[in-house]
Chain A
């Protein structure tokens, strides 16, 4: 069929309102990454399996790669770029940092948004509740242990780990 013309969609992303011209078939992820140039949301499997594209819509974690941009109108969207409060990192971001809860970082935006949404609903989740809440985000590097630790640190249920003083190949 002939390609339908673009239409203007008003997207509220990280409390900034953008009018974006999109085709009906544009996914929310494509609008966020390629129209708004917010590339923190990752394009992984692109079919709703991996969780790398997770964003918060009205506070709930959803997969932007299988959401339509036209259906994002009128809803509050938060991407990883909007998780910090100005210059102050979100507790989940701090915890991921001090726990070393990432390696390649590809899954990290989605992980942190799922974790932030969990803590919003349940400020002191059990380890099992954390596992359940993050079970839609796949990580191929870490083995998940430090990620789960980080969410416990962010919720004040675990002490900040001591800095690992072993030499690294990367000079700080």
Chain B
């Protein structure tokens, strides 16, 4: 039996009201959407906020729509509803695939898009009960000064474990952040920073209200692959998201590939620009796999063999492209 620490609960009905509460309580408050990340973490005393602000009644956050040539997904849209949305699967099958593979069925009915993007980083030395963490002398991310993953490490390497993040970065999404100081639009790639303690630029008084993904004008191909021990419930041990824009002759105008569940932020694979302007053939896919393999180094932050996860990188890159190119949209 795991109890929650005490807190005061607030139930705003509009973004303005929610943001005002954040302005008032800021660093002492936590937002709750589906609760699937926050509640277990609070039970483990990883967060002990004085105020919890429930977003369930904020109707404007529950909508999927399109505006100015972009698909907009409200932060409170559940992962199950996102996975079932035919407008999304018709254009962005990789997003549907990612959403439909997050955790298990009940967790997808509860968990939300905003919550998945703002998911706390995870580590085998962090996501434990207070008793467990105390016995080990705590860790760099919470209450302690020592990293148990990287000996002598001064920077937390807890893993970004959100499935939708690598996909939405590959698709070039932006997020809208609202605070009492105003609103800002941030490219999702710049939303994440390489710090496992807090891996986003989200300020304590900011609310992520929606994700925007530009609707493609031409031929967008996209795919997603996820490695985990069990095909349900488990967080990812490795994720690969790929996207490319194909010209009429089959050559790629641009290619994006993002790997995650490795370090503290999703990793867009770099130095692949020389493959732009050419078709994505077997040789190109092999080269993309090798580029990803060289740039990504799994750690013991997840309780799954890092050697196996690394060897699976080129395999999953291959599978992701095979999937993307077979379901051309």
Q: A residues near B, CB below 8 A? A: 1-4, 23-27, 43, 46-49, 51, 54, 60-63, 66-68, 70-71, 114, 132-133, 135-136, 138
Contact = CB atoms under 8 A, between A and B. Distances in A.
B2 A135 contact: no
Nearest to B4: A25
B85 to A, nearest CB: 15
Top 8 closest pairs, chain A to chain B, by CB: A136-B104, A135-B232, A24-B9, A25-B4, A66-B39, A47-B40, A46-B2, A60-B109
Contacts of A132: 105, 232
B36 interface: yes
B70 to A, nearest CB: 28
Given A4-B8, A60-B80, A114 B2 contact: no
Interface of A is mostly: loop
A61 B4 contact: no
A136 B232 contact: yes
A135 B40 contact: no
B2 A71 contact: no
6 contacts: A2-B6, A47-B39, A47-B44, A51-B106, A133-B105, A136-B233
A56 to B, nearest CB: 10
B60 interface: no
A54 B106 contact: yes
Given A61-B105, A63-B106, A24 B231 contact: no
B50 interface: yes
B71 interface: no
A4 B49 CA distance: 13
Interface string B40-53: 10011000001010
A68 B8 contact: no
Contacts of A47: 2, 39-40, 43-44
B187 interface: no
Interface string B79-101: 01000000000000000000000
A49 B235 CA distance: 11
Contact of A135 (B32, B39, B109, B231): B231
A23 B107 CA distance: 24
Given A49-B233, A68-B35, A136 B1 contact: no
B7 interface: yes
Interface residues of B, number: 32
A114 B105 contact: yes
Tell me if B's interface is mostly helix, strand, loop or mixed: loop
Interface in B1-42: 1-9, 11, 32, 35-36, 39-40
A1 B6 CA distance: 7
A47 B129 CA distance: 10
A70 B109 contact: no
A24 B104 contact: no
B35 A135 contact: no
Contacts of B8: 4, 24
Interface in B94-120: 103-107, 109-110
B184 interface: no
Given A62-B106, A66-B39, A71 B1 contact: no
Q: Give the residue among A23, A43, A46, A71 with the most B Cβ atoms within 10 A.
A: A71
Contacts of B54: 68, 70-71
Given A60-B80, A71-B56, A25 B105 contact: no
B105 A48 contact: no
A67 B233 CA distance: 17
Contacts of B56: 71
A48 B39 contact: yes
Nearest to A1: B50
B168 to A, nearest CB: 24
Interface string B224-264: 00000001110000000000000000000000000000000
Given A70-B9, A135-B232, A43 B1 contact: yes
Contacts of A61: 105-106, 109
B35 to A, nearest CB: 6
B103 to A, nearest CB: 8
B4 A27 contact: yes
Contacts of A51: 104, 106
B105 A66 contact: no
Contacts of A135: 104-105, 231-233
A48 B7 contact: no
A48 B107 CA distance: 8
A110 to B, nearest CB: 8
Contacts of A23: 6
Given A1-B50, A135-B104, A66 B40 contact: yes
